[in-house]
A = this chain, B = another copy of it.
């Protein structure tokens, strides 16, 4: 049985592009389309798609609100893949916090888009797609600080949050980080929470994975 996808985007061009890319796959099927968030819920009830590919910025009801509404009101809701134009879109993080399962850049290559839909359908989270690493690689002057700084800026991490993430990626607990930075554990918790939110990570393990995958920290 194929993966059934509902496309939600206010631009017909984008919908057509996604449809063309996805329907070229034998195991993926476009179940329907919607032009704004308000139309999503009834359509989901009617079509029962496996995955909703949803734009963030839309009229009437944006992707964040639509995600929240979906998860709140629909029983056994579909998986939600958030689609965005800008990799720096703060709305994306909000959407992920609202319960979306992954995000995808519109300028991603077709193979990446297909891959993303399959992964999401399988129940994977897709918080750190290839595009993030590409950003780091674009600064690839032998690795080093520039890539890390770029990722840091990309996620809008503050300096302190970057420090905390680095220590998380060394395996330290909140208490140990607090000792190291000579602050209270509550302070560390605040920073950790901010890092999790900005990276779209659910817990510190996912944050550390993001740190490695983005090149913010490197093995070796």
Q: Taking beta carbons and an 8 Å cutoff, which residues of A are in contact with B?
A: 123-125, 127, 130, 133, 168-171, 173, 176, 179-180, 201-206, 208-209, 212-213, 215, 218-220
Contacts and interface: CB of A to CB of B under 8 A. Distances in A.
24 contacts: A123-B176, A123-B179, A123-B180, A124-B170, A125-B171, A127-B171, A168-B205, A169-B209, A170-B209, A171-B201, A171-B202, A171-B205, A171-B206, A171-B209, A173-B202, A173-B203, A205-B208, A208-B208, A208-B209, A212-B212, A212-B219, A213-B219, A215-B219, A219-B219
Task: Please indicate which of the listed interface residues A171, A180, A203, A208 has the most CB atoms of chain B within 10 Å of its own CB.
Answer: A171
A202 B204 CA distance: 14
Nearest to A169: B209
A76 to B, nearest CB: 14
A127 B209 CA distance: 18
A130 B219 CA distance: 10
B220 A213 contact: yes
Residue from the set A124, A176, A219 with the largest chain B CB neighbour count within 10 Å: A219
A123 B182 CA distance: 14
Contact of A205 (B124, B204, B213, B220): B204
A61 B206 CA distance: 41
Contacts of A169: 209
Contacts of A179: 123
Nearest to A202: B171
Given A204-B205, A205-B208, A212-B219, 14 more contacts: A123-B176, A123-B179, A125-B171, A127-B171, A133-B219, A169-B209, A170-B209, A171-B201, A171-B202, A171-B203, A171-B205, A173-B203, A205-B205, A219-B219
A182 to B, nearest CB: 12
Contacts of A208: 205, 208-209
Closest 3 CB pairs of A and B: A171-B206, A205-B205, A212-B212
A133 B220 contact: yes
